[in-house]
A and B are shown apart, each in its own frame.
Chain A
């Protein structure tokens, strides 16, 4: 009898220690706004995946074909036929926003991947190896931190615009927009620095923990420790930072395009807003709906990020 009871109690402890990810997911599930954000992200992904099916009109044949696409229906306010209205060129804004979602997803994912790849490598190597490697890497990071990044992003983007390269790269049969990809690379180059510092701090803290010391005393190599111990343990931090990077990336790309420095060959949401700005007083819907799409997307990523950070760092929660 007594023995039975004891078992029950130890079972409880076991379940608690089973998997930190399961625990985090359970905590995230309780986070209403985080779940809501996740729902929005899923909707965005679905729209991007099915954009050719959902959009009532096809994408523009060429970005600067100023021939009205849908004759006689230019500059129409929102209606049942054109939920977001039509532009002065006669394009259906609703369809264009739907087609643009693909680029948004592309920007969010690739900027985050590149940024995190640089930030994580620099952060872990710098924090774990220390000494002169750390010195050199941190000096470089500092330089990137003081760079007036938006200005440089604009100059770089302009450089690429004027060099007028081929508009698309054909990679495995998929047309990848070259200009947008360059903007993505430029954004990534100018956003990894602060994240690298955060991750380095985390690694420094972890380096002092007993299990890393133990691994070291057992003769594990630096590379092994970094890959098998340090990386997995910074993962929760990386995931949170990554989600926030997605939000920032979408916002920045939209801003760059809005200012006229985007890829002239891709109709992103920011680009739609740039096109409509001159006629703001007459066709407000051309500005309103793409901007709303940017806002909701960024909001979704930020909500997920907040939810994740609460779920993965329970210390901050009561």
Chain B
């Protein structure tokens, strides 16, 4: 069963320089209890997708179209106040930078307890008990002592544990983790990945892992959604995708160093396109090694390839057959 079904989501940022088409046409589903990787280069729209699902896209961004079905309910049709009750309670988000996502002027206990109080209307001491319990789950040493401490008194890894606890406080059904390890040291990264993996398994949560790291995807995820310039390039099972990738995914995979293979690493030529004035046709065509005329003229649809594998490419038939 799908806990999240995003259909044709469109989010634009109305800046002075022009309209930034951050999300142009995003469709994907997330199966309950599954770990899904949301993959793409920076600027591809991964974070905005998570923000759109929670409807917390910062100004001057605006969701201007599509549907977001969560457990069958359309989140975009909800009133703001009803939507607020979903945030943190049913859907949570872990941010990329634990340092900037914790308010520097408030004690940890205070910040976290506020969330419990807001949703469950409990007394402060009850809320704090819940906070301590969750901090233990996130394996923060000495949770009782931490309550009165301020964010700057913790290390980066500890802060990220606190942020994970903040997201888990009310046992959400769906958890987005927005590059939760990018700003951490390598050794800490592994600990946080292990923690998230264990938590997902133990709590039976649905986890959407936003990352540009194919290694993390391979290690954690069952399914992958690949984004590029506000479009879904492909989505599906990790095995299928690694075996028969979209040209963009193929390029991404070639850019990952692997210990078990000796081959040349290649980077993807060019940059992510200007989202104010995106390329015509397939957004990836200027960088695609397989691009032909049709690719710059016509926008390819997201097609069902079979085996719950979806792909956006004019040439998928010949390429998948030919390789």
Contacts and interface: CB of A to CB of B under 8 A. Distances in A.
Interface of A: 1-2, 5-6, 9-10, 12-13, 30, 317-318
Interface string B272-293: 0110010100000111000111
Given A1-B296, A5-B279, 20 more contacts: A1-B293, A2-B286, A2-B292, A2-B296, A5-B285, A5-B286, A5-B296, A6-B270, A6-B286, A6-B287, A9-B270, A9-B273, A9-B279, A10-B270, A12-B274, A13-B271, A13-B274, A30-B16, A317-B16, A318-B60
A30 B17 CA distance: 10
Contacts of A10: 270
Nearest to B292: A2
Contact of B59 (A12, A13, A318): A318
A12 B17 CA distance: 14
B267 interface: no
Give the one of B15, B16, B59, B285 with max A CB within 10 A: B16
Contacts of B279: 5, 9
Give the one of A6, A10, A13, A30 with max B CB within 10 A: A6
B43 to A, nearest CB: 13
A5 B60 CA distance: 31
A15 to B, nearest CB: 10
Contacts of B271: 13
A30 B291 CA distance: 39
A318 B274 contact: no
A2 B286 CA distance: 7
19 contacts: A1-B296, A2-B285, A2-B286, A2-B291, A2-B292, A2-B296, A5-B279, A5-B285, A5-B286, A5-B296, A6-B287, A9-B270, A10-B270, A12-B277, A13-B274, A30-B16, A317-B16, A318-B16, A318-B60
Contacts of A317: 16
Contacts of B291: 2
B57 to A, nearest CB: 13
Contacts of B274: 9, 12-13
Task: Determine the interface band of chain B, counting residues with CB < 8 A from chain A.
Answer: 10 to 19
Contacts of A5: 279, 285-286, 296
A9 to B, nearest CB: 5
A5 to B, nearest CB: 5
A139 to B, nearest CB: 27
B12 to A, nearest CB: 13
Contacts of A6: 270, 286-287
A285 B81 CA distance: 58
Contacts of A13: 271, 274
A30 B277 CA distance: 20
A29 to B, nearest CB: 12
Contacts of B60: 318
A262 to B, nearest CB: 44
B15 A318 contact: yes
A124 B270 CA distance: 38
Contacts of A30: 16
A317 B13 CA distance: 13
Give the one of A2, A6, A12 with max B CB within 10 A: A2
Instruction: Give the 4 A-B CB pairs with smallest separation, nearest first.
Output: A9-B286, A2-B291, A318-B60, A6-B286
Contacts of A318: 15-16, 59-60
Contacts of B16: 30, 317-318
A287 to B, nearest CB: 42
Nearest to A318: B60
A23 to B, nearest CB: 10
A161 to B, nearest CB: 50
Nearest to A310: B16
Interface string B117-152: 000000000000000000000000000000000000
Nearest to A2: B291
A318 B16 CA distance: 7
A1 B271 CA distance: 19
Nearest to A9: B286
Contacts of B292: 2
Give the one of B59, B60, B279 with max A CB within 10 A: B279
A13 B286 CA distance: 13
A99 B297 CA distance: 66
Give the one of A5, A12, A13, A317 with max B CB within 10 A: A5
A257 to B, nearest CB: 42
A31 B291 CA distance: 42
Interface in B93-117: none
Interface in B247-283: 270-271, 273-274, 277, 279
A303 B293 CA distance: 51
Contacts of B285: 2, 5
A3 to B, nearest CB: 10
A10 B287 CA distance: 11
A18 B132 CA distance: 53
Contacts of B273: 9
A318 B287 CA distance: 29
Nearest to A6: B286
B197 to A, nearest CB: 34
A131 B10 CA distance: 53
Nearest to A8: B286
B305 to A, nearest CB: 25
A182 to B, nearest CB: 46
A303 to B, nearest CB: 18
Nearest to B274: A12
B24 to A, nearest CB: 17
Nearest to B58: A318
Nearest to A26: B17
Nearest to B281: A5
A10 B293 CA distance: 19
Nearest to B17: A27
Interface string B51-63: 0000000011000
